[in-house]
Amino acid sequence: MEYAVGKTGRVIVARLSEGEELYASIKEIAKKENVKAAAVFITGGFRKADVVVGPAVEEPKIIAQHRDFIGPGEVLGVGTIYWDEQGPSMHIHTAIGKDGEVMVGCPRGGANTFLILEVTIIEITGIDAKRVLDEKSGFKLLKLG
């Protein structure tokens, strides 16, 4: 186990509107405000999303299993921001629902807002954290200083 103790920095609140993409919007904020580490909370709706719902293959490297969510529907999510060598990198998990159907997973590119998506970013200061490529899994994983 690795862990670090930091402090709460700024709290950033954003409102995403119809059609705006979740990851692109959060990345834009993180770059503009130079947020290097943060917890992220989202509440609102998705119009559509490509969702990773688990591994399709685990060995030798993980291959993600994807499902399309076609909304509109409700979404509640939590995640993190840590930078890799290219800038802010998000890891967000959500519960997405529509008409009694629920999908839980990691929304990827194309996670578009339906009507409104409220995003709260709570900055974490005083830690050295980043995402680093893990050769075994093939994913960029959290690494603490």
CATH number of the structural domain 8-144: 3.30.1330.80
Cα distances from 75 to residues 30, 39, 41, 49, 127, in angstroms, run: 21, 17, 11, 11, 30
Helix (H, G, I), strand (E, B), or coil: what is residue 32?
helix
- Could you state, in order of their start, the residue ranges of all structural domains in the chain? 8-144
Asked if residues 113 and 46 have their Cβ atoms less than 8 Å apart, the reply is yes
Q: Which of 93, 92, 117 is nearest to 105 (CA)?
A: 93
**Amino acid 108: pLDDT:** 84
**Amino acid 110: pLDDT:** 82
∠ CA(71), CA(29), CA(118), 5° rounding? 40
Residue type, 77: G
**Amino acid 141: pLDDT:** 97
**Amino acid 51: pLDDT:** 97
pTM score of the predicted model: 0.95
Helix or strand holding residue 143 (H, E): strand 140-144
**Amino acid 60: pLDDT:** 85
Q: Within 10 Å of residue 17's Cβ, how many Cβ atoms? A: 12
**Amino acid 41: pLDDT:** 98
Q: What is the pLDDT along the chain (145 residues), one digit of tens a residue?
A: 999 999 999 999 999 999 999 999 999 999 999 999 999 999 999 999 999 999 999 988 889 999 999 999 999 999 999 999 999 999 999 999 999 999 999 998 789 999 999 999 999 999 999 999 999 888 999 999 9
